[in-house]
């Protein structure tokens, strides 16, 4: 007996919708097995992990805080991935955006007025976009694999930030802690409701950006050029859309949004630069993009789900005494099952008897799936790799 995958004539719209939900269900099942294996009651563990964070006002605020960068970056990555540009270095672009935006409060602390925050946000986008333009240019000009270059630049950015906060940008009045001055009020993203929690208006920006990108992708010529380039590069060229320009646009846009997420994170949730400013949002956002079906509007929901996985990890650590690495395990399982379930969209699973052992020579060597699929797998497999170092 063997399990065979038969290609469907047309992609199944049913499974295109159901796939993320099947993936989440399978993640839960795997979670139950996981908790049983480490001797915890699965019911209590899943409650602590998934439900408890939603029962209190302050933790809902935390959910919004964590979802903000995930949605911003995830929506941008949808654009990049859909156009066949595998930018997996959003974590580095986030860091460079945070550094560029922090130029204002750190280097020109006396510039304090209504323009301070908008200027910081713009610089943040610029920083992220410039950092993303490096792998973009290398790909457009020399055909370099952007998966490698964008990922490697993450570590460059992280070490640059580390050097800055321990060296030139260290707060002179900060008792030698590796951190910058605290940003003044004018340089801080205002909270939505101070009284009840930390959530800030960055969340609103993230929702607006995601909806804007959804409109661009679905309804404009620019969005069309991105979609057709990812799907059928030669047809896109025939349509007059230059692949190099599309690559640059995708990298600049996704980089700018990662940079925006970075500056919003430091100017909203943290309030200063530190050696580590993100628990891997840039990598987790890759999962957000895929869980959201590469649809920027879907990234809003997916961003909230992944934010919950971070909160759940913390909650499970407190109430169950398990390592907060459990959050990474859950995130990895979500991505694994999402990519696995996506197979159902294009393939039908058939359980077949022993097939006649034909000789190799008459079947043309099978290339598994399309190039795009291979690239997705390559990008996805780089994620846990990156996560280890983050």
Partner 1 sequence: MLSVEGLTKRFGTLVANDAVDLVIKPGEIHALLGENGAGKSTFVKMLFGSLRPDAGVIRWEGNPVSIETPGEARALGIGMVFQHFSLFEALTAGENIALAFEGGGTGHGAIGARAREVSETYGLPIDPDALVGELSVGERQRIEIVRCLMQDPKLIILDEPTSVLTPQEAEKLFETLERLKSEGRSVLYISHRLDEVRRLCDSATVLRHGRVVAHCTPSEETAGSLAAMMVGEEVEGFSRASAAVDHASDRAVLRLNGLSLPAASPFAVPLKDIDLTVPAGMVIGIAGVAGNGQGELFEALSGEVLQNRADMVSIDGSAAGHMDIEERRALGAAFVPEERLGHGAAPAMALTDNLFLSRHGTDSALFTGTLGSILKNKLKAVAAHISETMDVRKGAPDPHASALSGGNLQKYLVGRELDREPLLIIVNQPTWGVDAGAAARIRGALANVARRGGAVLAISQDLDELFEIADAIAVMHHGRMSRPIPIEEATREKIGLLMGGADPDHAELAEMQA
Q: How far apart are the first and last CA of the chain?
A: 43
CA angle 331, 78, 276 (to 5 degrees): 50
CB nearer to partner 1: give 167 or 357: 357
Of the candidates 59, 133, 144, 231, which one interacts with partner 1 according to CB under 8 A? 231
Q: Decide if residue 242 touches partner 1 (CB under 8 A).
A: yes
CB nearer to partner 1: give 1 or 365: 365
Of the candidates 38, 54, 115, 235, which one interacts with partner 1 according to CB under 8 A? 235
Of the candidates 3, 114, 173, 365, which one interacts with partner 1 according to CB under 8 A? 365
Letters for 198-227 (x = contact with partner 1 by CB under 8 A, - = none) are: ---------------------xxxx-x--x
Letters for 322-361 (x = contact with partner 1 by CB under 8 A, - = none) are: -----------------------------------x-xxx
Residues 6+ apart with CB under 8 A from 202: 68, 72, 189, 264, 265, 268
Q: Decide if residue 145 touches partner 1 (CB under 8 A).
A: no
Tell me the two tokens of residue 110: 């006396």
> What CA–CA distance (Å, rounded) separates 68 from 74?
10
> What CA–CA distance (Å, rounded) separates 110 from 166?
22
CA angle 247, 251, 252 (to 5 degrees): 115
Taking alpha carbons only, the member of 75, 42, 8 closest to residue 320 is 42
What's the min distance (Å) between Cβ of 222 and partner 1? 6
CB nearer to partner 1: give 11 or 57: 11
What's the min distance (Å) between Cβ of 342 and partner 1? 14
CB nearer to partner 1: give 43 or 212: 212
What's the min distance (Å) between Cβ of 346 and partner 1? 10
Transcribe 32-56 into DSSP letters. HHHHHHTT--HHHHHIIIIIGGGSS
By CB atoms closer than 10 A (0-12, 13-18, 19+), residue 176 is: exposed
CB nearer to partner 1: give 132 or 228: 228
CB nearer to partner 1: give 190 or 212: 212
Q: Decide if residue 13 touches partner 1 (CB under 8 A).
A: no
Residues 6+ apart with CB under 8 A from 389: 155
User: Could you list the residues that contact partner 1 (CB under 8 A)?
Assistant: 10-11, 219-222, 224, 227-228, 231-232, 234-240, 242, 357, 359-365, 367
């Amino acid at each position: 007996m063997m399990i065979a995958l038969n290609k469907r004539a047309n992609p199944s719209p049913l499974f295109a919708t159901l796939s993320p939900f099947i993936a989440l269900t399978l993640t839960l099942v795997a979670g139950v097995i996981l908790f049983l294996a480490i001797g915890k009651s699965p019911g209590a563990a899943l409650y602590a992990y998934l439900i408890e964070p939603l029962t209190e006002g302050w933790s809902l605020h935390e959910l919004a805080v964590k979802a903000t960068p995930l949605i911003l970056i995830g929506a941008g990555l949808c654009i990049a991935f859909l156009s066949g540009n595998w930018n997996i270095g959003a974590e580095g672009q986030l860091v460079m955006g945070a550094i560029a935006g922090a130029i204002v409060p750190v280097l020109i602390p006396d510039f304090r007025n209504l323009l301070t925050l908008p200027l910081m946000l713009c610089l943040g986008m610029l920083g992220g976009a410039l950092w993303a333009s490096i792998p973009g240019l290398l790909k457009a000009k020399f055909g370099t694999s952007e998966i490698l270059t964008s990922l490697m630049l993450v570590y460059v950015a992280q070490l640059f930030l580390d050097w800055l906060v321990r060296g030139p940008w260290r707060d002179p009045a900060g008792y030698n802690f590796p951190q910058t001055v605290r940003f003044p009020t004018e340089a801080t993203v205002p909270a939505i409701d101070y009284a009840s929690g930390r959530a800030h208006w960055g969340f609103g920006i993230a929702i607006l950006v995601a909806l804007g990108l959804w409109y661009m992708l679905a309804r404009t010529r620019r969005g069309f050029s991105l979609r057709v380039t990812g799907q059928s590069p030669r047809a896109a060229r025939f349509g007059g859309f230059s692949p190099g320009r599309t690559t640059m646009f995708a990298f600049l846009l996704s980089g700018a949004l990662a940079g925006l997420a970075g500056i919003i994170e430091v100017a909203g949730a943290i309030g200063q630069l530190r050696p580590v400013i993100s628990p891997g949002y840039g990598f987790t956002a890759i999962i957000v993009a895929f869980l959201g079906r590469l649809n920027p509007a879907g990234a809003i929901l997916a961003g909230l789900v992944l934010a919950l996985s971070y909160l759940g990890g913390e909650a499970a650590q407190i109430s169950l005494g398990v390592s907060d690495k459990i959050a990474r395990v859950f995130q990895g399982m979500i991505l694994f099952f999402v990519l696995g379930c996506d197979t159902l969209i294009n393939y039908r699973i058939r359980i077949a008897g022993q097939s006649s052992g034909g000789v190799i020579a008459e079947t043309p060597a099978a290339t598994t799936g399309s190039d795009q699929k291979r690239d997705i797998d390559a990008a996805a497999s780089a994620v846990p790799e990156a996560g280890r170092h983050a």
